[in-house]
Amino acid sequence: MTDVDLEVELEIHMSEEHVTARIPLAGHVTLEWLRSYHKLAGAKELPASAEDYPDRTWIVVRVPVIAGRADVMATMDAARASIDEVDASEQGSAATASETEAIVREWWSRQRGLRSK
């Protein structure tokens, strides 16, 4: 399960138009996880991305300076919730792969049974 590393400080970068928050994750994620996060963020029109660096993976959220408090909080919450959504979708994919493998093995057993008749 992917988790935010609360022992590492949040990084904030400011410009005249945006505040960019870099949220540290505990360790690294897979390339597929990164792709899934990008895809989910895009589908939600969430100004967030996941970036992997040698030290760890970061969730990068960019919010407009003119956004109100409620909008900023909602954006940050959505970026955090998306971590769990990607994890859940990956777990669902693993379960599906296991189920599919079982079906393929069942098919193979049937083929062997047909051959012996």
Question: What class has domain 11-115?
Answer: alpha beta
Q: Is the pLDDT of residue 69 over 90?
A: yes
Q: Is the pLDDT of residue 107 over 90?
A: no
- The residues spanned by each domain of the chain are 11-115
In sequence order, the β-bridge partners of residue 20 are 13, 62
Q: For residues 28-48, give the mean pLDDT.
A: 95
Per-residue confidence (pLDDT) for residue 85, from 0 to 100: 94
Per-residue confidence (pLDDT) for residue 49, from 0 to 100: 97
60 exposed, middle or buried (CB, 10 Å; 0-12, 13-18, 19+)?
A: middle
Measure the CA–CA gap between 73 and 63, rounded to whole angstroms: 10
pLDDT band with cut points at 50, 70 and 90 for residue 117: low
Q: Is the pLDDT of residue 116 over 70?
A: no
Q: For residues 87-96, give the mean pLDDT.
A: 75
Helix (H/G/I), strand (E/B), else coil: 68: coil
Task: Mean pLDDT check: name the lowest of 29-33, 50-54, 79-83, 106-110.
Answer: 106-110
